[in-house]
Chain A
Amino acid sequence: MQIYVCVKHVPDTAARITILENNRIDDRVTFIMNPYDENAVEEAVRIKNESGDAEIIAVSLGSQAAEATLRSALAMGADRGILIKTDDNPDSLVTAAALKAAIESDGGPGIIFTGKESIDSEGFQTMYRLAAGLGIPATSNVISLSLEQDKAVVECDGEGGAREVIEMSLPCIIGAGKSLNKPTYPTLPAIMQARKKEIAQIDLADLKIDKPAGRVEILELKPAVEKRRPTELTGTPQEVAAEIVRILKEEARVLPG
């Protein structure tokens, strides 16, 4: 079975974001593998270990720098990587079309993993677009997975703390949530080994994907400005409590006056 894991190279959440030309970020900051994609790789490795006979292929769309994230996936246990190279910042319609083309030209997926969202553009949608393109089912926000002969049974987070138990035919796409597993950090020998694993490189243009019918364009990117001016509440706990109640009533108006 071929297991594909889609991973994204994203700026570290702790990195200071600087905006260039009002529409993109300065990429001279630390980048990491999108955190939910770590859960996706981890789960792929677990499935491989259970099934015994499987190959894990990590796929990423991004600049040459995204090779580092593919290396991280290889160090976590993926067998080889595919880098779809672009210096643009494609929207999820293009991304899904590119992933579909790369996966289809590489082999036949038994199962595909992604993270439930990327923490940079926060789109929540690429897995569903990829699934629609491939004509296979998908579920995201997945917190548990078990594979049976020809189906996957998953649990995913639903409204109001509910859990939905979903059965999908295989192949299918799993959008990994954070509680799916705890990613294990690679050992030094695994990191060394990952350097020798193969990463195939394709230019996005060479995939010759059709221009999608829809498009999302970034018109402007600006820093989020913190406008709050903190006021200290002082006094005994009782005095502070009384003041908070006044604020809840008079300023926030969430309590009956």
Chain B
Amino acid sequence: MQNIGILIETRNAEIKKTNFGVITAARGDGRELYAFSLDSLPEDQKDLLQAYGVHRIVEVQSGNAPIDYNPVSWSQAVIQAVVYFGIDSLLGLAGLQGQNLLPRIAAGLNAPLVMDCSAVDLDGHRVEKSQFSGRTIATLKTEGPYHIYGIRPNAVEATPAAVEADSLSFQVDIKADNLTVKAIKPGDSSSIDLSEADIIISGGRGMGNSENFRILFACAEKIGAAVGASRVAVDEGWVPHTMQVGQTGKTVSPKVYMACGISGSVQHFAGMKTAALIIAVNKDREAAIMKKCDYFVAADLFEVIPALTARLETVFY
């Protein structure tokens, strides 16, 4: 029996749906799947974990209560669970939270870690990931007492495979005396997280200014899309860095990526090339993105996007 751990991420007491792709990637013959959650999980959320094939749901706690967020204490808690349950491989999401926890866990266990995996073979401890700004695909093999893998959100499509799960709590002792979380300044709660979004509409140089991004937000709102941006738009100060997609911004894998007024540099592609479908809107038909997408529109985005927004209204009403 190979015990596989999955580090569950939640938001507002709900499991982020990208976790189910990670669980799907973790399943296999002769494997026992453990879901580790630092937050308490309501029953309906535990049902979801069962529906995707988790055998044991473990709420990792201290003193019979959830542990306050601190990346050091959370990593210590997961390390103890990994060791106690004899976990062979631990999988998590490679988003910002994963970037903060998985390397700490790997460092604490002296275990190899590969972040941003697009495919995993847990029998062979082999994974695939892109390197060099998306210009190469590396197949890596890990060796060690434990194996830690950060999976790119949405890289593996989630499919249900129900099992019966048991649910337990696991108590740990933690000590984080050299790092304290003083505050969490919330982001804009109305905005949709780029790495979680099914649809992303991004703007680049062609947007021209900050104000014009409103037409992207208006369109995005109609279909629950997140709004992203290229480096130029961020460097110009039109939108904050948190919206940047690409080499020096976020890496995303949505079902649809719509690039508006973005030329499509290598660096931008590094962040969005694994999108299932890319639609480019650009006045310049020679722009690099027009040759590296699925659909392109060689026209003015200021005509196309408002028309799309108007059309989308008729879809829902």
Contact = CB atoms under 8 A, between A and B. Distances in A.
A139 interface: yes
B84 to A, nearest CB: 19
B161 to A, nearest CB: 21
Interface in B138-194: 138-146, 150, 177-189, 191, 193
A222 B291 CA distance: 21
Interface size class of A (residues with CB under 8 A): 35 or more
A219 to B, nearest CB: 5
Nearest to B105: A128
B291 A230 contact: yes
Given A91-B112, A220-B138, A214 B310 contact: no
Contact of B312 (A36, A237, A245): A245
Contacts, number: 265
A212 interface: yes
A17 B292 contact: no
Contact of A231 (B144, B188, B295): B295
Interface stretch (B37-45, B54-62, B93-101, B208-216): B93-101
Given A162-B185, A228-B293, A247-B277, A252 B135 contact: no
Interface stretch (A65-73, A75-83, A163-171): A163-171
Interface stretch (A54-62, A129-137, A185-193, A197-205): A129-137
Interface in B71-110: 71-72, 95-97, 99-100, 102-104, 106-108, 110
Given A157-B96, A254-B223, A247 B295 contact: yes
A49 B179 CA distance: 26
B143 A140 contact: no
A216 B142 contact: yes
A125 B249 CA distance: 17
A241 B186 contact: no
A160 B307 contact: no
A179 to B, nearest CB: 5
Among A91, A129, A165, A252, the most chain B Cβ lie within 10 Å of the Cβ of A252
Nearest to B249: A178
A123 B293 CA distance: 28
A126 to B, nearest CB: 8
Interface residues of B, number: 96
Main DSSP-derived SS at the B contact region: mixed
A201 to B, nearest CB: 27
B61 to A, nearest CB: 21
A241 B311 contact: yes
B51 interface: no
B186 A162 contact: yes
Contact of A35 (B183, B248, B308): B248
Contact of B143 (A137, A214, A231, A244): A214
A124 interface: yes
Given A160-B189, A228-B278, A230-B291, A165 B100 contact: no
Q: Sort A-B residue pairs by CB-CB distance and give the 4 closest, nearest first.
A: A161-B187, A214-B144, A125-B103, A132-B107
Interface of B: 9, 11, 71-72, 95-97, 99-100, 102-104, 106-108, 110-116, 126, 129-146, 150, 177-189, 191, 193, 198-199, 223, 240-242, 247-249, 255-256, 266-267, 270, 273, 276-280, 290-299, 303-304, 306-308, 310-312, 315
23 contacts: A17-B132, A91-B112, A122-B130, A123-B113, A123-B115, A125-B106, A125-B115, A132-B108, A140-B99, A166-B179, A178-B249, A214-B143, A216-B141, A219-B126, A228-B294, A230-B280, A231-B296, A240-B304, A240-B307, A241-B304, A245-B315, A249-B315, A254-B255
Interface of A: 11, 13-14, 17, 19, 25, 35-36, 91-93, 96, 119-125, 127-129, 131-133, 136-137, 139-141, 143, 153, 155-169, 172, 178-179, 212-224, 226, 228-234, 236-238, 240-242, 244-245, 247-249, 251-256
